[in-house]
A and B are shown apart, each in its own frame.
Chain A
């Protein structure tokens, strides 16, 4: 069974860069599936950030597109999320998930706070 585990700093300064990774175990990231990032905050609820296919093809939420990069590292069997120029509005629990649109598996989530 495929398992996902997010990791990264829990605190990021305003105007800084948020960088998270999602380690995939129990399966290959090169399988024929999409991998997504979703975040959840009290203010905005659940919000889809973007997705990546094992080939590297990406799709992003237009509301975040100018600040987001999602990448895949096949050698490490992990995907990464970079979000630049963060503000307090980016404070949320960040999840990686397997699937495109329909998310069949989720990581446990990692809480990120944007604060000085």
Chain B
């Protein structure tokens, strides 16, 4: 199975900050990477697919980049409603695997 490793596991930032979360795959997945946002008590929500494509309806402050084994999710200006846990997921090869999550807290 392809292992996905996220960092950091948690972070605290202020409203308006630029936030970056990284994800590394154990082997190349080209651009087959998705990012999800999960708010407390809710199901995950797709934010980014194919590494850099914004899912319909997702605010433009979210962006993704990377290819091969290294990827990043960036929130350009953190908003209070961005309090959540963020997961990366490889969609290159089944079984599709997820990172362990990054818990984002608002200072």
Contacts and interface: CB of A to CB of B under 8 A. Distances in A.
Q: Do A and B bind each other?
A: yes
Q: Indicate the size class of the contact surface on chain A.
A: 10 to 19
A61 B96 CA distance: 8
Instruction: Give the dominant DSSP class at A's interface.
Output: loop
Q: Indicate the size class of the contact surface on chain B.
A: 20 to 34
Interface stretch (B15-23, B39-47, B66-74, B75-83): B39-47
A108 B46 contact: no
Interface string A39-60: 0000001111000000000010
Given A45-B101, A95-B43, A107-B43, A102 B49 contact: yes
A103 B99 CA distance: 15
A63 B87 contact: no
Contacts of B99: 45
Which 10 A-B residue pairings sit nearest by Cβ, starting from the closest?
Answer: A101-B91, A106-B43, A46-B98, A61-B95, A48-B96, A102-B49, A101-B96, A102-B91, A102-B34, A48-B95
